[in-house]
């Protein structure tokens, strides 16, 4: 008797799942996918940010490279002159080089931190604008779901180019 009722419950559950699946197919879902990395890489706004950061931080980077070259030259000169220098002069020059190297490393760290912070600020602006564009597309085209950064997706649901084109059309 018990096995009969379990079979009936199982059959009823299978019929319910089947009915739900049929209803879901009848009301087709509209799903979109956006590759965020591609949006950030290909949007004109992102390219403009790259140029802006290059202009803002390029001089400091060049100064660091020049300082590094100067330091390398001084180290080579010390190595070449070392046999003819007195012990105290050689020690003094070595201390100077170590101090200059510390200063260079400090400046390089500051430059990297400043660049990273500015890049984050600019990228957050791009992400905000991209999210607004995605929301516009979602509302205008009556999507049920838009997913960002899926592991796998079909080209049929990929709306990344549409997002990039819409971003590029804005000023």
Given pLDDT bands bounded at 50, 70 and 90, which one contains residue 3?
A: very low
Higher pLDDT, 16 or 153: 153
Residue 16 lies in a domain: no
pLDDT digits (tens, 9 = 90+) for 117-169: 999 999 999 999 999 999 999 999 999 999 998 888 889 999 999 999 999 99
Residue 70 lies in a domain: yes
Residue 17 lies in a domain: no
Range of the domain at 152: 23-169
Residue 128 lies in a domain: yes
Q: Is the whole model's pTM more than 0.85, yes or no?
A: no
Show the DSSP H helices in 82-159 as ranges. 87-140
- Number of domains into which the chain is organized: 1
Helix (H) or strand (E) holding 166: helix 160-169
Residue 110 belongs to a domain with what CATH number? 3.30.910.20
Residue 53 lies in a domain: yes
Residue 55 lies in a domain: yes
Q: Report the pLDDT value the prediction gives residue 9, as an integer from 0 to 100.
A: 46
Residue 8 lies in a domain: no
Residue 80 lies in a domain: yes
Q: Report the pLDDT value the prediction gives residue 2, as an integer from 0 to 100.
A: 45
The pairs formed by 27-30 with CB atoms below 8 angstroms and a separation of 24 or more are 29/144, 29/145, 30/141, 30/142, 30/143, 30/144, 30/145
Pull the structure tokens for residue 92. Answer: 């003094």
On average, the pLDDT of the chain sits at 86
Q: Report the pLDDT value the prediction gives residue 123, as an integer from 0 to 100.
A: 92
Contact between 71 and 104 (Cβ < 8 Å): yes
């Amino acid at each position: 008797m018990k096995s009969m009722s379990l079979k009936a419950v199982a059959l009823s559950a299978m019929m319910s799942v089947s009915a739900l699946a049929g209803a879901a197919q009848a009301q087709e879902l509209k799903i979109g996918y956006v590759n965020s990395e591609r949006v950030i890489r290909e949007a004109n706004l992102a390219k403009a940010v790259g140029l802006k950061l290059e202009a803002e931080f390029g001089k400091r980077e060049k100064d660091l490279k020049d300082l590094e070259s100067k330091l390398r030259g001084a180290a080579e000169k010390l190595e070449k002159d070392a046999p003819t220098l007195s012990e105290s002069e050689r020690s003094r020059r070595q201390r100077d080089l170590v101090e200059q190297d510390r200063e260079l490393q400090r400046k390089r760290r500051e430059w990297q931190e400043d660049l990273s912070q500015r890049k984050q600020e600019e990228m957050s602006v791009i992400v905000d604008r991209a999210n607004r564009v995605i929301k516009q597309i979602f509302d205008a085209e009556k999507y049920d779901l838009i997913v960002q950064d899926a592991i796998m997706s079909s080209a049929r649901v990929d709306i990344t180019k549409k997002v990039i084109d819409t971003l590029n059309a804005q000023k």
